């Protein structure tokens, strides 16, 4: 693989996972033949046999139980073309409403809050390159030094330019170590923290009244809600001291411009939408949104975390970020798909709710681009639900823990072996051309959907060619919030990406110089709401779904390490990465370790109301004494998600990965 030094997102730098990604391509560690379950075992089969089996079982179950007995689960790692085609496949070929994807576990709370406040959800409303030139960034619950290492340089440059960095994280992470100010709240209390900061902004007279008047609505209610959160009370809830709160307000408000960026810390909570809303309120009250070098952004995670959430693999969504329950959107997309609008199903269930329904009213599942046995909350239960399915088909590159439970496994191509577009967290659409030939026996996800559609009676509209799929996506997205209609492969080949929205001028050839230039910076004139104003969220603090008690006195939070990726399905197969991060661990503070009698490396058991997990203790002063941390990359007895709480945010349906009540004990007799 070559590193492109001129490329602005990462400026040529690749992190460890990027550099070693080529290793995953080795046939020794990946699937190269379809597998079909026979006599309880997965055995090699031809593509024809495997595809026939899937079509026959999906068709049979649908005939017996109806289309909604078929579930589809996608992933934010899929290209735009695949995510689009998967959503269309579910609605048009299967006719099911039961489709959702792993992005629901990722940034859905930020997406919901962004849509409420601004009328549009794009990770960053500005290019990453703006970050070094702003005055202050508050980074809430992001450990980007480990999770987006190439982007760390934007923050280093920010500080070199005289800007300041505030990091909000219960742990003193590698990212927090770079900060001018580190606030370490108790997990699940960011909502109170943001409200406390807003209270001080008002009390210290730091609001931007002209901006509030001109560009927002709902301030009175939001202001009243914030004023009810006194700094001393916020200190008690969060553990962040009043002087630290005041210092944060000073750093954020003094410069001309400032940004708030959130990641999974505040979002993966059962109140994630309100929490992000509170951080957006802080931006709005101080006039720091929709202005140059200022704004709120969400640091989106997966390979195509942005594009994957725009084109219809989400339960309530149609391509172009349209809503499935909007009659005009249904009519438009049905027109592009050549079906009657009333044949499109209603919105379905969210990811966890869908997984929870497996084996009951959902009897078959087609899975593409996720490994929920490791990554879903309350994973032992989800695993049991998956095992109870009448039929499971999995498309994957490797034999994931979920693929092991399948009735049919299809080996698919991965990124360097296929052409397709992805959309960066900045809303920049990028084209990646196929660079290498896939091993024999491997086909693309688009081929799988094409073949299954044909077997289920739909001959047209499921191309195997990515550009052809993109051409249809352009038309389907035209006029929607995420409008790609002015973007073509031809343009993308010549440009360093094009930012959506990029509508097609009615009479312009999109390859022309007069074509729409794309939109690197959003909201500078108006927000995407009907009245053009941003909306404050009238939110108040509430506790996590599961607060500690006598039986489960500690909080568990979860996250990532630099050398493993997600459910680890791919990275656990790479020797260099395993050497760096060989297995799960439990981070605990020395005081807590002393109390339970644990020494460094001792196996400790973490127990929640959902189950127990065991992993070696890693003792560190970088974590709060009332909190333990586990990365979630591993299956088996160290699986963090055995413990996590599937309590859902009422709006985004995001599960509470970032806090649940646990107890921690050393394994064996107490020392
Ligand atoms: N190496 C690596 N990189 C990755 C990934 C990976 O698996 N491995 N995954 C990719 C994906 S899909 C994503 S979504 C991103 C995620 O990127 P991040 O959001 O940076 O990742 P996390 O480690 O899940 O969470 C970030 C931080 O949130 C903190 N946190 C925990 N609870 C709370 C809380 O209540 N409040 C606050 N403020 N912080 C809290 C954790 O201590 C952690 O340091 O990373 C992407 N990049
Ligand atoms: N406790 C806890 N749990 C979490 C989180 C957390 O912070 N804490 N974070 C959540 C978040 S943010 C996310 S994004 C999820 C991620 O967790 P998962 O949804 O499990 O994501 P991956 O591990 O990336 O799984 C992707 C699977 O798809 C395969 N794959 C990769 N590319 C392709 C492709 O192009 N086509 C097909 N068919 N397959 C492909 C990979 O080999 C892998 O098996 O985990 C969530 N779970
Ligand atoms: Mo994610």
pLDDT in the model for residue 26: 73
CA of 427 to the centre of ligand 1 (A): 20
Q: How confident is the model at residue 433 (pLDDT cuts 50, 70, 90)?
A: very high
Q: Atom 13 in ligand 1: which residue has the minimum CA distance?
A: 301
Q: What is the DSSP string of 59-126?
A: HHHHHHH-GGGEEEEE-TTS-HHHHHHHHHIIIIII--S-EEEGGGGTTHHHHHHHHHHHS---S-SS
Q: Integer distance in angstroms from the first to the last C-alpha of the chain?
A: 51
CB-defined site of ligand 1, < 6 Å: 17, 106, 140-144, 146-148, 168-171, 173, 187-188, 190, 263-266, 301-302, 557, 559-560, 562, 564-566, 629, 658-659
Atom number of ligand 1 nearest to Cα 264: 19
Q: Atom 40 in ligand 1: which residue has the minimum CA distance?
A: 265
Strands 70-74 and 428-432, sheet pairing = unpaired
Pocket test for ligand 2, best of 21, 31, 75 (most atoms within 8 A of CB): 75
Atom number of ligand 2 nearest to Cα 375: 47
CA of 504 to the centre of ligand 1 (A): 37
Residue 53 dihedral angles phi and psi, to the nearest 5°: -60, -45
pLDDT in the model for residue 5: 41
- Output the six-digit token pair for 345: 């199903």
Q: Atom 47 in ligand 2: which residue has the minimum CA distance?
A: 375
| pLDDT, averaged across the chain | 94
Cβ-proximal residues to 157 (8 Å cutoff; 6+ apart), any chain: 131, 132
Pocket test for ligand 2, best of 102, 263, 606, 645 (most atoms within 8 A of CB): 102
Among the bound ligands, the one closest to the CA of 567: 2
Beta bridge partners of 586: 617
- Output the six-digit token pair for 361: 């009213």
pLDDT in the model for residue 21: 55
0.75 exceeded by pTM? yes
Cα–Cα distances (Å) from 516 to 125, 484, 509, in that order, read 18, 10, 10
In tens, the pLDDT along 572-602 reads 888 889 889 999 999 999 999 999 999 999 9
Cα 37 from chain centroid (whole Å): 32
Residue 14 has pLDDT above 50, yes or no: no
With beta carbons less than 8 A apart as the criterion, state whether 251 and 265 touch.
no
How far apart are the C-alpha atoms of 220 and 26, rounded to whole Å?
59
Pocket test for ligand 1, best of 560, 572, 644 (most atoms within 8 A of CB): 560
Q: Atom 44 in ligand 1: which residue has the minimum CA distance?
A: 143
In tens, the pLDDT along 116-155 reads 999 999 999 999 999 999 999 999 999 999 999 999 999 9
With beta carbons less than 8 A apart as the criterion, state whether 131 and 155 touch.
yes
Let me know how long the chain is: 671
In tens, the pLDDT along 17-41 reads 555 555 556 777 899 999 999 999 9
Q: Atom 23 in ligand 2: which residue has the minimum CA distance?
A: 567
CB-defined site of ligand 2, < 6 Å: 75-78, 102, 105-106, 264, 268, 301-302, 368-372, 374-375, 395-398, 400, 412, 414, 445, 558-559, 566-567, 569-570, 632, 640-641, 644, 657
In tens, the pLDDT along 286-315 reads 999 999 999 999 999 899 999 999 999 999
pLDDT in the model for residue 351: 98
For the segment 515-534, the average pLDDT, to the nearest whole number, is 96
Which residues have CB less than 5 Å away from ligand 3 (the ion)? Answer: 106, 301-302
For the segment 382-399, the average pLDDT, to the nearest whole number, is 98
pLDDT in the model for residue 18: 55
- Output the six-digit token pair for 159: 């500080």
CA of 371 to the centre of ligand 2 (A): 6
Q: How confident is the model at residue 348 (pLDDT cuts 50, 70, 90)?
A: very high
């Amino acid at each position: 693989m070559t590193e492109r030094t001129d490329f602005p997102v990462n400026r040529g730098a690749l992190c460890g996972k990027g550099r070693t990604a080529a290793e995953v391509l080795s046939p020794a560690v990946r699937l190269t033949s379809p597998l079909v379950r026979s006599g309880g075992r997965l055995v090699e089969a031809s593509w024809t046999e495997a595809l026939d089996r899937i079509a026959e079982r999906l068709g049979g179950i649908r005939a017996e139980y109806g289309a909604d007995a078929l579930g589809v689960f996608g992933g934010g790692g899929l290209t735009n073309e695949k995510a689009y085609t998967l959503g269309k496949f579910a609605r048009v070929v299967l006719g099911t409403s039961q489709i959702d994807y792993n992005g629901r576990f990722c940034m859905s709370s930020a997406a919901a809050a962004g849509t409420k406040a601004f009328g549009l959800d794009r990770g960053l409303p500005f290019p990453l390159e703006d970050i070094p030139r702003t005055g202050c960034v508050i980074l809430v619950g992001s450990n980007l030094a480990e999770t987006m290492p190439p982007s760390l340089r934007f923050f280093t440059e920010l500080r070199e330019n005289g800007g300041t960095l505030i990091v909000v994280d219960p742990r003193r992470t590698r990212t927090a170590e770079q900060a001018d100010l580190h606030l370490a709240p108790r997990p699940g209390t960011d909502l109170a923290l943001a409200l406390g900061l807003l209270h001080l902004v008002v009390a210290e007279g730091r609001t931007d009244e002209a901006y509030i008047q001109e560009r927002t609505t709902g301030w009175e209610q939001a202001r009243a809600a914030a004023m009810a959160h006194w700094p001393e009370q916020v200190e008690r809830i969060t553990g962040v001291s009043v002087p630290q709160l005041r210092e944060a307000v000073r750093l954020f408000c003094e410069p001309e411009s400032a940004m708030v960026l959130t990641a999974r810390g505040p979002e993966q909570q059962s109140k994630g939408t309100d929490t992000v809303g509170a951080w957006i309120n802080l931006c709005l009250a101080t006039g720091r949104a929709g202005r140059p070098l200022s704004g709120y952004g969400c640091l989106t995670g997966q390979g195509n975390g942005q594009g994957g959430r725009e084109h219809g693999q989400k339960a309530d969504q149609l391509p172009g970020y349209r809503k499935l329950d909007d009659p005009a959107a249904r009519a438009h997309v049905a027109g592009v798909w050549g079906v009657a609008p009333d044949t499109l199903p209603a919105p379905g269930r969210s990811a966890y709710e869908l997984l929870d329904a497996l084996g009951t009213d959902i009897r078959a599942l087609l899975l593409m681009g996720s490994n929920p046995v490791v990554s879903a909350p309350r994973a032992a239960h989800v695993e049991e639900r998956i095992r109870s399915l009448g039929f499971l088909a999995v498309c994957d590159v490797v034999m994931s823990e979920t693929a092991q439970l399948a009735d049919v496994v299809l080996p698919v191509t991965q990124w360097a072996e296929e052409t397709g577009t992805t959309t960066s967290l900045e809303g920049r659409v990028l084209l990646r051309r196929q660079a290498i030939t896939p091993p024999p026996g491997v086909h693309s996800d688009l081929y799988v959907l094409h073949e299954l559609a044909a077997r289920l009676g739909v001959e047209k509209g499921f191309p195997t060619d990515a550009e052809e799929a993109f051409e249809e996506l352009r038309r389907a997205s035209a006029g929607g919030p995420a409008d790609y209609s002015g973007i073509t492969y031809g343009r993308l080949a010549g440009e360093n990406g094009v930012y959506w929205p990029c509508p097609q001028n009615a009479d312009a050839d999109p390859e022309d110089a007069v074509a729409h230039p794309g939109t690197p910076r959003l909201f500078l004139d108006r927000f995407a709401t009907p009245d053009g104003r941003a909306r404050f969220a009238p939110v108040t603090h509430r506790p996590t779904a599961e607060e500690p008690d006598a039986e489960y006195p500690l909080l568990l939070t979860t996250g990532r390490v630099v050398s493993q990726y997600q459910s680890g399905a791919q990275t656990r197969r790479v020797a260099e990465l395993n050497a760096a991060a060989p297995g799960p661990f439990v981070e605990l503070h020395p005081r807590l370790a002393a109390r339970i009698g644990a020494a460094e490396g001792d196996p400790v058991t973490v127990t929640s109301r959902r189950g127990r997990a065991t992993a070696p203790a890693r003792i560190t002063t970088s974590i709060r004494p009332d909190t333990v941390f586990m990365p979630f990359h591993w299956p088996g007895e160290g699986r963090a998600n055995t413990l996590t709480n599937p309590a859902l945010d009422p709006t985004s349906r995001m599960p509470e990965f970032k806090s649940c009540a646990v107890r921690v004990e050393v394994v064996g007799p107490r020392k």
